[in-house]
Structure 1
Amino acid sequence: MARNGLNSSSTPGQEFTKSKINKENLQKISELLKYLKPYRTKFALGMVFLLLSSLTGLAFPALIKVMVDVAQGIKADYGMPNSVNTIGYIAFAILFVQAFVSFFRIRLFVEVAEKALADIRRDTYFKMITLPMNFFANRRVGELNSRISADLSQIQDTLTTTLAEMIRQIILLIGGISILIVVSGKLTLFNLSILPVIVVAGVFFGKAIRKISRQAQDKLAESNTIVEETLQGISNVKAFVNEPYEAKRYDKSLREVVKIAVRGSNYRGGFASFIIFCLFGAIMGVIWYGSILVQQGGLSVGDLLAYMLYSVFVGAAMGSFPELYANVQKALGASERVLEILKEENEPISIHQTDHKIKDVIYGDLNFNNVHFSYPSRKDIIVLDGVSFTAKAGEKIAVVGPSGAGKSTIASLILGFYHAQNGEILFDGKPFSSFALTDIRNQVAIVPQDVILFGGTIKENIAYGKLTATDEEIADAAKKANAHLFITGFPEGYETVVGERGVKLSGGQRQRIAIARALLKNPAILILDEATSSLDSESERLVQEALEILMKGRTSIIIAHRLSTIREADQIIVLDKGQIVESGNHQQLLQNQDGLYKHLSALQFEV
């Protein structure tokens, strides 16, 4: 089992990467804000409702102040009525307006954000599925899925909640501080004198807590990795009777997590105690000093009450900023990862074209002319080294050789998954580049060794070869592929759900559905990539019969380990270390006593 440190990608509850909020990163996220343009009218209207909601919220402490003053016989200021009941009615009217505008604020922001996010998700997915195979070779599916789900959800939270809340809190903060100064400049100066102490303490404790939190998260990731490794290799653990060792290793890791967490609790406890003392001390100090001002006649009871309420508004606004700021940082980090995908260069495929109209017909001639190829991720390893061969329309060309010789790479090059660094591939005498990529893939079909079916019905999986196929065409393809009999044996027939990746079907059944799918596509060139190597004898016979029907009249490239399946091939190409070392038909190659084909044949057929 691997012991190579933590595997954070598999850690549940993994924190989002945060990015610094600077000019460069804000310019990056502005590229995603263009998705708000189609909905800018509703967004602007939402901003108006947001402003109204915030301003009406600021009006309540002022109304309470007037109500208290009027109740004490002090004449109302600013033209307000001198009736407690009238002021109460006005307060409820404003409350109704605030509730009304708050509903539409939330409604509009959520609608705009959801529609914009749906557009980003759509474009990200469309971009992802049109990226070249090399992109997927260097990334894990879980990572890509995270970008389209978790990362975009983080952006969604920012657009729907964080952005609006941040603007609202800024309005409350600026408005609240302004009103505090108007109500009592002396109390405001007293309040502000405490603020630097709290800020300095917050920075100190915050850094220490974040550092310990990261350490605890890393240690927890290590313990989760131990669980993952142990369960993945449980057969090895049991075979070597190492359950006590693994239990001890996991327990030790957990104890380290506990130790770090306890150390972190000291900082958290100290910070909480300090904040409680400062917070309630500030409130007590304001009431104390305010009461003195009331006694001296410099402040009314209503003013003191309004001041306290506005202080709560300002304190709540200031307290919300660290979390809002962190959410924006997470959104920036998520945006960077999404933009990485959107900026990737995709294949020349239109996601709007679903009719599969072929402009340039391929009749089946295929030429490899001195092809050299190395995978982009392993440029120092030559996979194909000067490979040349010709397949005429309708011929069966078999490709054999040891594992790693480059057989499957030939299939990838024919389909345009990768492109040769040197040499050229010709279809009907014309270079690969003269055809649209969609035209080539629409006229080339592959039946792989490991058939992956989609989680829908058998009918949907066969129809994947031709989306417009009728039920009769699907059934006819299934009959030719020796699949109709077992399909109709299911209670739901062609509507049988195959399960994720086709797990409810046997290997032979999956192969025959793949053959039916290829038949429905009616390709000019067919690639069989070790299509029968993992089947039992009966399944192999049925699949082989179906393959004979499928290969009839088509250029067939047969990549095989089992030499018994390629004896009738028109030409057999023997690959070794990326080079063609032999070629000819079955009988011709057996004549070469020192040849690789003769050696492979002897290994397979010796009793």
Structure 2
Amino acid sequence: MPALDAVADTAAPKASPRALSGLWPFLAPYRGRILTALLFLLLAALATLAFPLALRGLIDQGLVASDPGERLMALRGHFLALFGVGAALGLFSAARFYAVTWLGERVSADLRNAVYSHVLRQSPEFFEHTQTGEVLSRITTDTTVVQTVVGSSLSMGLRNSVMGIGAMVMLIITNPWVMTQVLGLLVLVVLPAIYFGRRVRRLSRASQDRVADTSAIAAEVLNAVTVVQSYVQEGAETRRFAGASEAAFDTARKRTRVRSMLVAFIITATFGSMLWGLYQGTQAVIAGNISAGHLGQTVVYVILLVSSVAVLAEVWGDVLRAAGATERLMELLATRSTIAEPAAPLPLPATAGGSGLALRGIQFHYPSRPQQPALTDFDLELRPGETVALVGPSGAGKSTVLQLLLRFYQPQAGTITLDGVPIDRVSLQTLRQRIGLVPQDSVIFSANALENIRYGRPEASDEEVFAAARAAFAHDFISQLPEGYQTFLGERGVRLSGGQRQRISIARAILKNPPLLLLDEATSALDAESERAVQAALEVAMQGRSTLVIAHRLATVQRADRIVVMEHGRVVETGTHAELVAAGGLYARLAAMQFEG
């Protein structure tokens, strides 16, 4: 189970409304708008509370007056007063709705941006334990829950709190005996509501976790849909997703059932309290203790109090759900990358003929495999302008070297220097700007060909992009696309062949023009003709810079200045192609298998 899921399951029972305090840093910049929304909310609540007073005047003075003329004039005045109350309520409610809805949308957008930006800065170790679908679920589903609460539920809760307290105060002032009995009954409502609320809170968090499970499965399968289809596993994956969806539905059903019971209990109990208060009021009118208008005012205030309690019960459920969502988002924001920026970054010296690189005594194992060393006592030196090839069987640690150079991971022992400066003393941005990477699995973004190449250097002109494409022998096939460089390449470059994707990836690195170039099986996806063309382009691109090449196909590294042979995370041989073949070691055996096979 992913680490975040484990944390979520452990923390689920502890989720509480206090978790919403994590939203304050996102609310604080909009204090002025919050105060404006609260002002309109208060005015709307006061307008609602003024309605029973206007109604009492209508009944006692507009309907009870004996003279017909006086009654007609009184009716007009009181109806105008009622209309004024209604107009004020409409105006203030509209302003409140706009203010709080804007706030909810703004805060949820800021929260999504913050979480996404934070996740982008995590080291690859984070993704060893966390599924991408889980992160996407939190960025989308959980922020939507927060938006609903900030932009609606909290406003409703505050408004009904003001109305409920105001109605209760007015009832205490105008009918203390009746209100004392109603309050006693409402206390009996609150205690069971607390019990049900705790169950709703736990089930809300569990429901959000199960929805995240479905997102994780969907993201994983859709990213590998061709493999799923080639192995005819559509049915199995459909059943697996359906199982996760059913689990999410079952948890949501339990949450909804408990919440429905909570709502039913509160509404029934508060309605009974209202009827009891109404019964007491009618007895007071019959006894002549209060007027009919007074009774009408009391009835409306009791209705406001009861409806406020009912709405607050609904809002409380939303708040509990949002607390779970906020807690999950705060867990993401609380994660810290294992690759820390240096407190006082050192600058890298200027280079003219490529960067110098040195690895000394490197010991490293991946965090997910602590007992299995990836590199042991590893030493490597790359002089400025030199091309060094790393070769060896799969699992020898070649790609791990590149991961450490880019500081995706931190070695447990040893030092790595770039141009004489330890890379852990250099800011990540400065370090990675010095390095160009062409990975084994070329990455194509959902954009056109021009923007995919320009990703290497966003400020590059169109002509510079075209020149990089020509150097990578990509210009011709791009020009033949339906819209040339403006052609949308599809998600993950599905409209291109493997070789075409790789050439765009190489053009991107050439455009970046770094002093250190890392080629991780850069020609592995090319056919023989394309490989020769790209190899020629790379030889031109490598001039004047240092290059570290990883290749299983030894034909691509024969002209390297040095070849470093690795096995089980160690350097076992070093030399040129001719020297290593003559030595008759591991390289010679690998070469024999490839060239003779």
User: TM-score, normalised to structure 1's length?
Assistant: 0.82
Paired position in structure 1 for 2:308: 317
Could you report, residue by residue, the CA deviation over 1:177-222 in whole angstroms, capped at 9, with x for unpaired residues? 1112233233323433443554455567777888999999999999
The reply on whether 1:454 has 2:442 as its aligned counterpart is: no
- Whether contact under 8 Å (1:213, 1:264) holds in the other structure is no
The reply on whether 1:558 has 2:549 as its aligned counterpart is: yes
Could you report, residue by residue, the CA deviation over 1:222-266 in whole angstroms, capped at 9, with x for unpaired residues? 999999999989779969x999xx989989x9799899979997x
Could you report, residue by residue, the CA deviation over 1:462-491 in whole angstroms, capped at 9, with x for unpaired residues? 111122211111111111110111011112
Q: Secondary structure at the match of 1:424?
A: strand
Structure 1 residues 602 and 484: alpha-carbon distance in aligned structure 2, compared to 1, 3 A threshold: same
Paired position in structure 1 for 2:522: 531
Alignment of 1:439-518 (within 5 A): 439-518=430-509
CA distance in 2, matches of 1:255, 1:430: 53
Deviation at 1:600, TM superposition (A): 2.1
Alignment of 1:117-136 (within 5 A): 117-136=108-127
Structure 2 unaligned regions, length at least 5: 67-71
Amino acid at match of 1:321: L
Structure 1 residues 269 and 510: alpha-carbon distance in aligned structure 2, compared to 1, 3 A threshold: closer
The reply on whether 1:390 has 2:381 as its aligned counterpart is: yes
Paired position in structure 2 for 1:155: 146
Paired position in structure 2 for 1:105: 96
Amino acid at match of 1:73: V
Paired position in structure 2 for 1:78: none
Amino acid at match of 1:567: Q
Alignment of 1:145-224 (within 5 A): 145-199=136-190, 202=193
The reply on whether 1:65 has 2:42 as its aligned counterpart is: no
CA distance in 2, matches of 1:220, 1:125: 19
Alignment of 1:428-443 (within 5 A): 428-443=419-434
Amino acid at match of 1:49: F
Deviation at 1:521, TM superposition (A): 1.2
- Whether contact under 8 Å (1:359, 1:439) holds in the other structure is no
Please identify, of 490-499 and 269-278, the stretch whose mean Cα deviation from structure 2 is larger: 269-278
CA distance in 1, matches of 2:389, 2:247: 59
Amino acid at match of 2:298: Y
CA distance in 2, matches of 1:509, 1:263: 51
Structure 1 residues 389 and 206: alpha-carbon distance in aligned structure 2, compared to 1, 3 A threshold: closer
- Whether contact under 8 Å (2:200, 2:255) holds in the other structure is no
User: TM-score, normalised to structure 2's length?
Assistant: 0.83
CA distance in 1, matches of 2:324, 2:203: 22
Q: Secondary structure at the match of 2:580?
A: helix
Alignment of 1:240-389 (within 5 A): 278=269, 281-345=272-336, 360-361=350-351, 363-389=354-380
The reply on whether 1:600 has 2:594 as its aligned counterpart is: no
Deviation at 1:65, TM superposition (A): 1.8
Q: Secondary structure at the match of 2:491?
A: coil
Structure 1 residues 359 and 168: alpha-carbon distance in aligned structure 2, compared to 1, 3 A threshold: farther
- Using the aligned pairs only, state the percent identity: 35
Deviation at 1:517, TM superposition (A): 1.1
Could you report, residue by residue, the CA deviation over 1:22-70 in whole angstroms, capped at 9, with x for unpaired residues? 76x46x52xx423434332232222222111111111112211221122
- Whether contact under 8 Å (1:220, 1:254) holds in the other structure is no
Deviation at 1:559, TM superposition (A): 0.7
Structure 1 residues 361 and 312: alpha-carbon distance in aligned structure 2, compared to 1, 3 A threshold: farther
Structure 1 residues 584 and 138: alpha-carbon distance in aligned structure 2, compared to 1, 3 A threshold: same
- Whether contact under 8 Å (2:263, 2:314) holds in the other structure is no
Q: Secondary structure at the match of 2:415?
A: strand
Paired position in structure 2 for 1:575: 566
Paired position in structure 2 for 1:588: 579
Amino acid at match of 1:61: P
Structure 1 residues 121 and 20: alpha-carbon distance in aligned structure 2, compared to 1, 3 A threshold: closer
Q: Secondary structure at the match of 1:416?
A: coil
Amino acid at match of 1:559: I
The reply on whether 1:400 has 2:385 as its aligned counterpart is: no
- Whether contact under 8 Å (1:64, 1:302) holds in the other structure is yes
CA distance in 2, matches of 1:111, 1:235: 44
Q: Secondary structure at the match of 1:580?
A: strand
CA distance in 2, matches of 1:127, 1:276: 43
Number of residues of Structure 1 aligned to a counterpart in Structure 2: 577
CA distance in 1, matches of 2:143, 2:572: 51
- Whether contact under 8 Å (2:389, 2:551) holds in the other structure is yes
Select the residue among 540, 549, 564 that pairs with 1:549: 540
Amino acid at match of 1:157: T
Deviation at 1:119, TM superposition (A): 4.0
CA distance in 2, matches of 1:104, 1:319: 24
- Whether contact under 8 Å (2:364, 2:412) holds in the other structure is yes
Paired position in structure 2 for 1:95: 86
CA distance in 2, matches of 1:130, 1:223: 25
Amino acid at match of 2:519: L
CA distance in 2, matches of 1:82, 1:325: 46
Deviation at 1:360, TM superposition (A): 4.1
